[in-house]
Amino acid sequence: MLTIKQITENTDAVIRGLEKKHFKNAKETIDQVIAFNDKRRSTQSVLDNNLSEVNSISKSIGQLMKEGKKEEAETAKSRVAELKETNKTLQAEMDQAAEDMQNLLYTIPNIPYDEVPEGVGAEDNVVEKMGGMETELPKDALPHWELTKKYDLIDFDLGVKITGAGFPVYKGKGAQLQRALINFFLDEARKAGYLEIMPPTVVNAASGYGTGQLPDKEGQMYHCEVDDLYLIPTAEVPVTNIYRDVILEEKQLPIKNCAYTQCFRREAGSYGKDVRGLNRLHEFSKVELVRIDKPEHSKQSHKEMLDHVEGLLQKLELPYRILRLCGGDMSFTAALCFDFEVYSEAQKRWLEVSSVSNFDTYQANRLKCRYRSGEKKTELCHTLNGSALALPRIVAALLENNQTPEGIRIPKALVPYTGFEMID
């Protein structure tokens, strides 16, 4: 959430940033926030003056009574009663203005950094880097949904029977491959200094608001209405909320956490060939990285996270590219975001496998996540997160890009985790 200080001290820059994200009615919305804030402050000023007057008059009443000035004392009492009634109205007005301002702030996205390119959608993202191994496949190469059937790795129809479309059942070496990737990603994160967390996979509404999934993505989350709980779309939500309403010491930063969870997304409106097989699921496995950092170090943290994800893709021997997302294609909460995509040789398309984002103070302001600096004053932290990695499309690319006439080859880095070199 944007801070009032950001908005009031850098109004024009905030509006430009929101326009870069193609947020509709940016100026009108910011003007409304400022109006609510002005109303809150002016009402607070009158209320403070009234309270001061009440205190002053109340102190004088006793003295007036001692001096026998009953009439003046009664007049003072009437004035106090009048002010108290007025103050009730003022307090209600101030509370309403603050609530209206807060609710409006929840609907405003983060503003992008200057280095975020202009653009409306995915076609305007900038390719920062390409890497990995080129793949040569047999002429009769199959997409992963055919390979999983051929080698009995994943049963999509069984998932439909048990739950519905988008909930596959992993079997045999397909399940072993999933577990191998999860353990590989977690081990690599631990080696890089991340503390593993095993969080809940359902969260309350306060957690959703804390990281910005609510109210922006409410329709994309599975909602357990009886208990008012949400299935998590990513481990970012529970792990980052560990630090909600927490004041950290400067020496604790940066905090580096990782977590493996199942993730749940309704993906409402998704259909067509691009969602076949593992390309888009309602439930999937993912290892997530989360960092809490000081503002002056968060860009370095972001770079380290990008290097970590790139290293994973290199070890998996997959062709990849890194995209700097344009303003119109960034998430609601991100100030700067890079996507990693792997190339599916069989599908002849790029598949997104990770987004690594810096949220600046946007989430921290919602979370009230602060740190105490050397001068003992508290400041908002910066939060960052990234997938390292999301499994479905990684599995799709691994199966498709490593198919041979003898079977599907397992990358060397994964063999110690799978216990086999080939799926045949």
Residue ranges of the binding site for L-serine: 234, 265, 288, 385
Cβ neighbours of residue 24 closer than 8 Å, sequence gap 6 or more: none
Pair of tokens at residue 116: 């975020």
Pair of tokens at residue 337: 């975001």
Give the type of residue at 118: E
Q: Which of 254, 259, 246 is nearest to 382 (CA)?
A: 254
The interaxial angle of helices 172-191 and 391-401, nearest 10 deg, is 120
Binding residues for ATP: 265-267, 352-355
Three-state DSSP class for residue 402: coil
Binding residues: 234, 265-267, 288, 352-355, 385
Q: Residue 388 in contact with residue 353, Cβ under 8 Å?
A: no
Q: Residue 132 in contact with residue 152, Cβ under 8 Å?
A: no
Q: Which of 117, 162, 165 is nearest to 145 (CA)?
A: 165
Alpha-carbon distance of 18 to 20, in angstroms, equals 5
Q: Scanning the structure block, which residue is given the tokens 């409106």?
A: 269
Three-state DSSP class for residue 188: helix
Q: Residue 335 in contact with residue 359, Cβ under 8 Å?
A: yes
Q: Which of 5, 94, 105, 62 is nearest to 333 (CA)?
A: 105
Pair of tokens at residue 269: 């409106």
